[in-house]
């Protein structure tokens, strides 16, 4: 059972480049979310989804896009990377009836130069 899989684990981008962080889960979880973790800031919610075709914004959505075409996948897109987006990104999923019991991926460390 793989759980929540994030790729890549590390990424370096130049300012203005675009990329997609991948997230996949094999637990048939309805709820999926993206967080960023910055030193001294804790985790902040970027976007979340309560099911395929449904997404919504979290606390810090600017500069990020998401889509949810399947239950399993929830990619996060950076359309034009900025140094302020240097962070560690975590994908998490849970059953809709127990959303607080989040299962986290191992994270993607992103540096934007």
Partner 1 sequence: AQSVTQPDIHITVSEGASLELRCNYSYGATPYLFWYVQSPGQGLQLLLKYFSGDTLVQGIKGFEAEFKRSQSSFNLRKPSVHWSDAAEYFCAVGVRYSGGGADGLTFGKGTHLIIQP
Is residue 45 near partner 1 by the rule CB under 8 A? yes
- The strand ranges marked E within the chain are 4-7, 10-13, 19-25, 31-38, 42-51, 54-57, 64-66, 76-78, 87-94, 103-104, 108-112
The reply on whether position 4 binds partner 1 by CB under 8 A is: yes
Question: In 3-state terms, what secondary structure has residue 29?
Answer: coil
Asked whether position 89 contacts partner 1 by CB under 8 A, the answer is no
Taking CB under 8 A as the criterion, the residue among 53, 106, 111, 113 binding partner 1 is 106
Instruction: Assess 96 for contact with partner 1 (CB under 8 A).
Output: yes
92 binding partner 1? (CB under 8 A) = yes
């Amino acid at each position: 059972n793989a759980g929540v899989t994030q790729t890549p684990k590390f990424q370096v981008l130049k300012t203005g480049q675009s990329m997609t962080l991948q997230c996949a889960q094999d637990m048939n979880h309805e709820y999926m979310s993206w967080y960023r973790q910055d030193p001294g800031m804790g985790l902040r919610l970027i976007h979340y989804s309560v099911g395929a075709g449904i997404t919504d914004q979290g606390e810090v959505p600017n500069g990020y896009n998401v889509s949810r075409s399947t239950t399993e996948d929830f990619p996060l897109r950076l359309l034009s990377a900025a140094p302020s987006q240097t962070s560690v990104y975590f994908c998490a999923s849970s059953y809709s009836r127990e959303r607080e019991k989040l299962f986290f991926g191992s994270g993607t460390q992103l540096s934007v130069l």
